[in-house]
Chains A and B, each alone.
Chain A
């Protein structure tokens, strides 16, 4: 079975622009979580979705939003990009919420100039 897939792999944007990142979970997994990993740090939780509903939100501004589709894939949107949004964005999938194993994709490297 394919693992978690993310697109694009790399992305370069300018300050003020908008970006959409995409994630497809492992087949059969209904929960998707998003994390931001700044260079030299551990990942920080942004959102979790389960059955198309938001089940958790981290300490990120409203410029960050996400959604989950009926096929359980997910999008992360970031508006009004700042230089500090440059990071590796990781998507993780799990069977459900709450203590289940989370499997990560390879990430999308976002650079904001």
Chain B
């Protein structure tokens, strides 16, 4: 199985960039996702990257993937107070029987201060 690790907490000033990091152990991860969860809510899909890509940019979000180091990051430019939430890294492995299974990290709590 896969092990997905994230730092637990990140504090950032409004207007600065946030970088949330994720490391994983299984090199056969195929799709890698970032989800956002606000208090008392479900998970919102922010973006995802296929494992044959190094980078994906979507407005304020930039995803970087280093397959050699098994490291995924999410950069949020011009962080706003509305970005305060828990961010989850998640992976799927299309080489296993459970194609639809998302393996999540424990989440990174991002707090944006004015």
A residues near B (Cβ < 8 Å) are: 4, 31, 33, 35, 40-45, 48, 50, 55-58, 90, 92, 94, 97-107
Contact = CB atoms under 8 A, between A and B. Distances in A.
A109 B4 CA distance: 25
B100 A50 contact: yes
A40 B107 CA distance: 8
A106 B100 contact: no
B104 interface: yes
Interface in B89-114: 90, 92, 94, 97-107
Interface of B: 4, 30-31, 33, 35, 41-45, 48, 50, 88, 90, 92, 94, 97-107
Contact of B97 (A31, A33, A56): A56
A90 B43 contact: yes
B100 A43 contact: no
A97 B99 CA distance: 6
Contact of A106 (B33, B41, B103): B41
A101 B45 contact: yes
B94 A56 contact: no
Contacts of A56: 97-101
A90 to B, nearest CB: 6
Nearest to A35: B102
Given A104-B42, A105-B42, A106-B41, A99 B92 contact: yes
A100 B102 CA distance: 11
B98 to A, nearest CB: 3
A45 B42 contact: no
A50 B35 CA distance: 22
Contact of A45 (B88, B102, B107): B102
B99 A98 contact: yes
